[in-house]
């Protein structure tokens, strides 16, 4: 007997019209639990397995530490910030 695993996905900045189709497509997948938060809110993973940040502002150092604290290796890139980081 196999167990079903729900993957929690946080879409930070998912309130924008440009992100609506992606959020809807993700939410339509029964294997995903999609949490959408405004980009103005702090970027806190809160147990999410996958974090998609799609806001106009780059995350601050505390937010980067919160995402990195999830464990694993996460590539991250923010346009306009002029940086690409690999979080450990």
DSSP 60-75: -HHHHHHHHTT-S-EE
CA 50, distance to chain mean position in Å, is: 6
43-65 per-position pLDDT tens digit: 888 888 888 877 777 778 888 77
Phi, psi of 63 (to 5 degrees): -65, -40
Band of residue 30 on the pLDDT scale cut at 50, 70, 90: very high
> What residues contact residue 75 under an 8 Å CB cut-off, 6+ apart?
84, 85, 86, 87
The pLDDT of 73-77, averaged and rounded, is 52
Identify any residues that bridge with 53 across adjacent strands, giving them in sequence order.
12
- What pLDDT shows up at residue 31? 93
pTM of the predicted protein model:
0.71
Structure tokens at 31: 């294997």
């Amino acid at each position: 007997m196999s167990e079903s695993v729900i993957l929690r996905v946080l879409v930070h900045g998912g309130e924008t019209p440009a992100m609506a189709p992606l959020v809807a497509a993700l939410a339509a997948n029964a294997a995903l639990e999609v949490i959408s938060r405004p980009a103005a809110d702090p970027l806190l993973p809160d147990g999410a397995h996958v974090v998609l940040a799609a806001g106009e502002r780059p995350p601050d150092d505390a937010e980067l530490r919160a995402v990195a604290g999830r464990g694993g290796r996460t590539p991250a890139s923010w346009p306009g910030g002029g940086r690409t980081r690999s979080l450990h």
